[in-house]
C-alpha cells in the first residue's frame, strides 16, 4: 500500500499552523503565533487575517521541509472549516482549496472543536498508544468554548453541556485584562496563582441546571469587587494579584470540575480527557489528578503543544476522514458559528 500523506492547515483564530502526517503519524507541526494582538488586550480580527496571509505560505513550506517531503507526495489536504473568526478561516480555507486543486488531490474539512478533542489521537511514532478508549468524556476548554463532550467515535461526538455565555478562557482573559496584567491572561493568571491563596476571595459561582456552564456572572462579580477594592486602595491589584489570581482560578476550576463530575455520574464513563488551551492550566491539571484519584477516573491530558491551536489535530482528524473516504467538495464554505457538525 502507498503511504498516505496528509497536510493539515489551521487558521481559525490567531495561530497559523501546518502539519504533515504519514499514515496517521505526525512528521511535522509548525505554528506561527501572532504577537501583534498583545498591544490590544485581545485578538483583533482584521489584524489576525492579515497576519495569516503573511504566515500561511512560509508555515506550510516549513512543515513540508521538516517532514522531508515534496508537496507532490501529498495524498490530501485537511483544513479547519470552522468555527472561528471568518477572516482568519478564509485564509486557510482558500489556501487549502487552491493547493488541493493545483495538486489534484482531495480536500478534508475539519471542525475545529472536533480537532481539539482529536488531539488525543495524535501519534508521534508508530507505537504511540496513549489515546483514550471509546467512549470517553472530554472537557473542552479554550478561549472560545467550554464544553463537556461524549466521544463515541472520531465522527460521533455528543455535546452534553456547554457554556451559555462566556467561555472559561475568555473569563480568565477578561479578568486578567481588568487587573491590567496583559494578554493572553491564562498563562499569567496560572503563574501568579501558584504563589497565592485560593481561598483569599470568594467570587460568585453560577447555579445553572444540567451540564451547561456560565462564566459571565463570575466575570461581573470579579469586576465589581475589584472596582470597590481599588476605590479604597489604588494599589490593591499590585498588593494582592497572587491571591486574586489564585482565587479566580480556584473558582473557575471548581465550576468546571463540578459539572464534569456530574457528567461522569450521569454517563457512568470514567475515562475522562481534557482538551483546549485552558487545559495548560496547572490548577485544572491538579484538579484532574485529584478527581482521578478520588473517584477512580482514568485521565488523559494531551501534550501542551497539542492543547492550544495546532494543525496536528486537524491533520489526524483529516486522516480518519481520508480512511473513510469522507472528502469535502471545493464549494463548501467556511463557517464561524460554534457547532460540532
Ligand atoms: O485553545 P486555544 O489556544 O484557542 C482557542 O481555540 O480558543 O485557547 C486559548 C485560551 C486563552 O483564553 C488562554 O488564556 C488560555 O487558553 N490559556 C490558559 C493557559 N494557557 C492558555 N488558561 C489558563 N491557564 C493557562 N496556563
Angle between helices 236-267 and 282-295 (to 10 degrees): 30
87 shares its domain with 195: no
152 shares its domain with 291: yes
Q: What is the CATH number of the domain that holds 67?
A: 3.30.420.40
- Judged against a pLDDT cut of 80, whether residue 18 lies above it is answered with yes
Q: List helix spans (H) across 151-235.
A: 168-178, 185-193, 216-232
Q: Which atom of ligand 1 is nearest to the CA of 176?
A: 14
Q: How many domains does the chain have?
A: 2
pLDDT digits (tens, 9 = 90+) for 100-119: 999 999 999 999 999 999 99
**Do the domain assignments include residue 334?**
no
**Do the domain assignments include residue 315?**
yes
Q: Which atom of ligand 1 is nearest to the CA of 169?
A: 12
125 shares its domain with 140: no
Residues 234, 189 contacting (CB under 8 angstroms) = no
156 shares its domain with 275: yes
**Do the domain assignments include residue 335?**
no
- 275 Cα–ligand 1 center, Å: 10
Cell output for 259: 459539572
**Do the domain assignments include residue 340?**
no
106 shares its domain with 208: no
Q: Is 144 touching ligand 1 by the criterion CB < 6 Å?
A: yes
Q: Which domain holds residue 240?
A: 136-303
Using 50, 70 and 90 to split pLDDT, how confident is the model at 338?
confident
217 shares its domain with 317: no
Average pLDDT value for residue range 198-216: 95
**Do the domain assignments include residue 341?**
no
147 shares its domain with 193: yes
90 among annotated binding-site residues = no
Q: What pLDDT is recorded for position 340? A: 64
106 shares its domain with 162: no
The CA distance from 276 to 270, in Å, is: 20
- Judged against a pLDDT cut of 90, whether residue 240 lies above it is answered with yes
Q: What pLDDT is recorded for position 124? A: 97
Average pLDDT value for residue range 176-194: 94
Q: Is 13 touching ligand 1 by the criterion CB < 6 Å?
A: yes
239 among annotated binding-site residues = no
Q: What pLDDT is recorded for position 337? A: 85
141 shares its domain with 174: yes
**Do the domain assignments include residue 274?**
yes
**Do the domain assignments include residue 339?**
no
Average pLDDT value for residue range 109-134: 96
Q: What pLDDT is recorded for position 144? A: 85
150: helix, strand or coil: strand
Shortest-distance Cα residue to atom 24 of ligand 1: 281
**Do the domain assignments include residue 120?**
yes
207 shares its domain with 310: no
- Judged against a pLDDT cut of 90, whether residue 43 lies above it is answered with no
294 shares its domain with 159: yes
Cell output for 131: 489515546
113 shares its domain with 141: no
Average pLDDT value for residue range 227-253: 97
Mean per-residue pLDDT of the chain: 95
Q: What pLDDT is recorded for position 41? A: 78
Amino acid at each position: 500500500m502507498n503511504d498516505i500523506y496528509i497536510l493539515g492547515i489551521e487558521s481559525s483564530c490567531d495561530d497559523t499552523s501546518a502539519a504533515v502526517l504519514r499514515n496517521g503519524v505526525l512528521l511535522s507541526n509548525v505554528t506561527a503565533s501572532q504577537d501583534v494582538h498583545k498591544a490590544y488586550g485581545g485578538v483583533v480580527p482584521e489584524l489576525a487575517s492579515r497576519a495569516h496571509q503573511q504566515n500561511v505560505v512560509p508555515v506550510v513550506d516549513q512543515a513540508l521541509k521538516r517532514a522531508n517531503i515534496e508537496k507532490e507526495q501529498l495524498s490530501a489536504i485537511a483544513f479547519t472549516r470552522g468555527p472561528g473568526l471568518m477572516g482568519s478561516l478564509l485564509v486557510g480555507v482558500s489556501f487549502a482549496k487552491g493547493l488541493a486543486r493545483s495538486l489534484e488531490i482531495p480536500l478534508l474539512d475539519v471542525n475545529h472543536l472536533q480537532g481539539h478533542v482529536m488531539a488525543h489521537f495524535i501519534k508521534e511514532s508508530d507505537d504511540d498508544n496513549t489515546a483514550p478508549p471509546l467512549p470517553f468524556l472530554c472537557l473542552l476548554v479554550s478561549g472560545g468554548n467550554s464544553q463537556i463532550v461524549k466521544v463515541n467515535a472520531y465522527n460521533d461526538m455528543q455535546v452534553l453541556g456547554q457554556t451559555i455565555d462566556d467561555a472559561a478562557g475568555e473569563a480568565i482573559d477578561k479578568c486578567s485584562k481588568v487587573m491590567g496584567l496583559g494578554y493572553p491572561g491564562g498563562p499569567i493568571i496560572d503563574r501568579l496563582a501558584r504563589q497565592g491563596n485560593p481561598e483569599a476571595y470568594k467570587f460568585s459561582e453560577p447555579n445553572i441546571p444540567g451540564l451547561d456552564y456560565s462564566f459571565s456572572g463570575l466575570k461581573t462579580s470579579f469586576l465589581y469587587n475589584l472596582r470597590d477594592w481599588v476605590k479604597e486602595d489604588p494599589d490593591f491589584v499590585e498588593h494582592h494579584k497572587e491571591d486574586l489570581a489564585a482565587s479566580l482560578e480556584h473558582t473557575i476550576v471548581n465550576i468546571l470540575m463540578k459539572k464534569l463530575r456530574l457528567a461522569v455520574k450521569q454517563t457512568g464513563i470514567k475515562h475522562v480527557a481534557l482538551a483546549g488551551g485552558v487545559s495548560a492550566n496547572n490548577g485544572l491539571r491538579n484538579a484532574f489528578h485529584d478527581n482521578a484519584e478520588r473517584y477512580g477516573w482514568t485521565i488523559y491530558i494531551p501534550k501542551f503543544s497539542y492543547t492550544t491551536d495546532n494543525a496536528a489535530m486537524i491533520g489526524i482528524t483529516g486522516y480518519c476522514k481520508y480512511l473513510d473516504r469522507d472528502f469535502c467538495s471545493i464549494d463548501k464554505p467556511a463557517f464561524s458559528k460554534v457547532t460540532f457538525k
